[in-house]
Structure 1
């Protein structure tokens, strides 16, 4: 399925071993990890098309299904279970309905999802008619080639998804190697950086950023040091925290972002990364907050990215506006095929 601006297989948790190493070995075979084209598997040779969603019934009272995400290596034989993926999440509810894990309702079906990577709850509202998922529609999200039916995702209690703290280092703004950064954990651990501090405008294309080897090496060094400070340990073999370059909006949005995954620049913007940015925007002292005019209304946040923008609806605590209770946004999904993958 295509989920948001990502693509990958959706598998049943019951078909896979509970042991993470054994599961990782199977996922490497399925995706063809270890070859730059993933020639021996069904991966697409890109980090956005080398993702796997695993779904099963949940024993959690607040959820209908469990969702485990895995980022599978391309040239390297490795699997990272540490992050979440909000784009692949868009296909979880349709998959759950298609496979009988959740019974469809008349016009729209609510599926409550527990993400096993972060132990957080997400509500997905999916259009359904006559017991079937509706995929066709007029909603076009930036980074996807065709319109489809809208799927509303609402992330509940996004703060401290991986570390247990919104600002794991205890600081809203700090310096790493003389560069001001904000280390935040909201749906996804991220390190936010002013693009100008690294000699960039923030409007560069992903290809321009990826080709600047000196810049990419410096960004990775900052990311690894941020990971240590956030209590994530040695993150050299992990994809978190995600580094993000921020700059002032150019097209009427709230902010402009360049998001890294982390060794390449995302051609759009990850859902979870956008939630981290929108959350940070509520704090004037953060890298994100410094780029926003005072008194800006932040219940609706629009973040510009290389292929368009993403809109987020942010529900903040009335007594403490800096406290984010939930974040909602629209994604789309498309069922591409159903079949059997053969393992060697």
Structure 2
């Protein structure tokens, strides 16, 4: 069996992009096909096209949108490596940049002022991403001067606005716990202050000091701290159960399979070195962050995590807000810069509060994307 596919680097992730017509309908047959295509289960994915890492073992299924207000539909799947799992309940902000480029190459969307605007139906959530792709004479630009942490070189800037994603996982609003800070009783940690935000994915923000860690430490150092990993797993489990995101019966398997909920360790800005040795001065960032899910720290920072972090940082009494050395002002539009293992990233956010309700009119992330290959994949 043959499958036409593209490999696209979207943001600091990479995945296989497949037209909806190339895959079976939703169900076990489709999942088996995707796992075979990636070479899962196998830690190295040696007999498939997977990248042997959670940032490079991702799939995007692209097709026509059923919504009149959208140009294209995008379904994201996080593909397991050593375990034969597929998570269709998450979203990936970085791969969304690849979906925008994929659609732009098909001539979808509307053109104005040298940019193509594409409204993407994000099928996992039912929400809409508004993407802007620069182009020349109807063709997406291949050269640009925008750089992102964790990716060598520069490229054309693709803007992705996630303003429609408040409450996208649970449909209970931005703060599904009902408050900006909540307290969890975690084994061997005691009472822990966290902020839980439902914005493009389900995020849990925790103070670095409460975990007795330094986010500026290398990923190898953090990943080798078995006690820390156990604490983070317990935090994920506690929030997932309390919100009814998973049942107790399915908790263990879902925590190992699903990206949600993600835990983000947040600290105030200070200088650090990226995993490739680049020096990031304290003044270049607003927050220092690290992200964890499914037993692993992320080698970069999730695009959806960046959006959730930036939105939370613009709202008083949240964990990210408390770590800002220079608090956000009363202007609606803010730029929040985050330091992560791959470098730094900035998010444009506009949040207003009316009678206790938060309204997000902008949650824009700049990414780059590049088509690496178009070809035929063989399943047997």
TM-score with structure 1 setting the length:
0.95
1:92 paired with 2:128, answer no
Alpha carbons 1:106, 1:128 under 8 Å: kept: no
Structure 1 ranges of 4+ moved more than 6 A: 103-106
Corresponding position of 2:306: 274
Deviation of residue 295 (structure 1)?
A: 4.5
Per-residue CA distance 1:239-267 (angstroms, 9 max, x = gap): 20001100001112221100123321112
1:170-181 map, 5 Å: 170-176=178-184, 177=186, 178-181=191-194
Deviation of residue 133 (structure 1)?
A: 1.6
Matched position secondary structure for 1:167: coil
Q: In structure 2, what is the Cα distance between the partners aligned to 1:305 and 1:5? A: 12
Deviation of residue 109 (structure 1)?
A: 0.8
1:47-58 map, 5 Å: 47-58=54-65
1:42 paired with 2:49, answer yes
Q: In structure 2, what is the Cα distance between the partners aligned to 1:212 and 1:336? A: 36
Corresponding position of 1:326: 362
Alpha carbons 1:70, 1:79 under 8 Å: kept: yes
Matched position secondary structure for 1:339: strand
Per-residue CA distance 1:201-241 (angstroms, 9 max, x = gap): 22122221111112112211111111112221134232200
Q: In structure 2, what is the Cα distance between the partners aligned to 1:20 and 1:33? A: 17
Deviation of residue 171 (structure 1)?
A: 2.6
1:167 paired with 2:199, answer no
Structure 2: give runs of 5+ residues left out of the alignment: 1-7, 271-281
Per-residue CA distance 1:79-130 (angstroms, 9 max, x = gap): 0001100100101122123245557677221111010111111111111122
1:128-207 map, 5 Å: 128-164=135-171, 165-176=173-184, 177=186, 178-207=191-220
1:283 paired with 2:303, answer no
Q: In structure 1, what is the Cα distance between the partners aligned to 2:367 and 2:309? A: 18
Per-residue CA distance 1:164-215 (angstroms, 9 max, x = gap): 1211122321222222111111111011111111110221222211111121
1:343 paired with 2:379, answer yes
Corresponding position of 1:6: 13
Deviation of residue 135 (structure 1)?
A: 2.0
Matched position secondary structure for 1:23: helix
Q: In structure 1, what is the Cα distance between the partners aligned to 2:318 and 2:26? A: 39
Q: In structure 2, what is the Cα distance between the partners aligned to 1:318 and 1:145? A: 39
* Comparing 251-260 and 42-51, the one that deviates more: 251-260
Larger RCO, structures 1/2 (Cα 8 Å, 6+ apart):
2
1:114 paired with 2:149, answer no
Q: In structure 2, what is the Cα distance between the partners aligned to 1:146 and 1:261? A: 28
* Comparing 205-214 and 230-239, the one that deviates more: 230-239
Matched position secondary structure for 1:197: helix
Q: In structure 2, what is the Cα distance between the partners aligned to 1:106 and 1:132? A: 13
Q: In structure 2, what is the Cα distance between the partners aligned to 1:102 and 1:343? A: 33
Matched position secondary structure for 1:204: coil
TM-score with structure 2 setting the length:
0.86
| Cα distance, 1:324–1:102 mapped onto 2, change above 3 Å | closer
Structure number having the greater strand percentage = 2
The CA RMSD over aligned residues, in Å, is 1.9
Structure 1: give runs of 5+ residues left out of the alignment: none
Q: In structure 2, what is the Cα distance between the partners aligned to 1:101 and 1:32? A: 32
